Amino acid sequence: MRFAAATIVLALIATAAGCGEREFTAQEFVDSANEQGAELALGDQITTTEADEPVIRISFAPPPGTDPNPQLQAGDGSGTMIVASDAESAGAEFDHCETAADLTCFRAANVVLRFEGMAAADRARVSGAVSALASEG
């Protein structure tokens, strides 16, 4: 899974090269990812990073009208989002996240998503959405 997430991050970085990387607010990222099928729900800010960047709770809901497969629903359906001040700071947060064996991490521009115990269906939706955002760049 880490390989797939890392591949997506590399695609995002390559897409942004030379044209200035987009910077998202938390709501802009959730809206953009949901347009691509992520089904994210933005929660409350729960803390800040050492760099005073917001750490926000996020969660998932099954896509409307679906009957979720219980074999795919293993995680608690929540994680955190860090909205970094810029892409460089997000890169450092992503690298730090990747060192944790029990986290699944994604990065899109200045946003880092961190999940523990992520369900397969959620992982697939986020991977697809982040990949689609990269191709839009």
Better pLDDT: 89 or 136: 89
pLDDT confidence of residue 11: 42
Residue pLDDT, tens place only, 52-81: 999 999 998 755 666 655 555 445 678 999
pLDDT value at 127 more than 90: yes
Residues of the chain with pLDDT > 90, as a percent, come to 60
- Over residues 8-25, mean pLDDT: 57
pLDDT confidence of residue 78: 84
Contact 58, 78 (CB under 8 A): yes
pLDDT confidence of residue 10: 43
Domain regions of the chain by residue span: 2-136
pLDDT confidence of residue 49: 93
Contact 70, 61 (CB under 8 A): no
- Over residues 85-102, mean pLDDT: 94
Cα angle 103-105-111, degrees, rounded to a multiple of 5? 135
- pTM of this prediction? 0.78
Residue pLDDT, tens place only, 18-60: 346 789 999 999 999 999 999 999 999 999 999 999 999 999 8
Give the three-class secondary structure for 105. Answer: strand
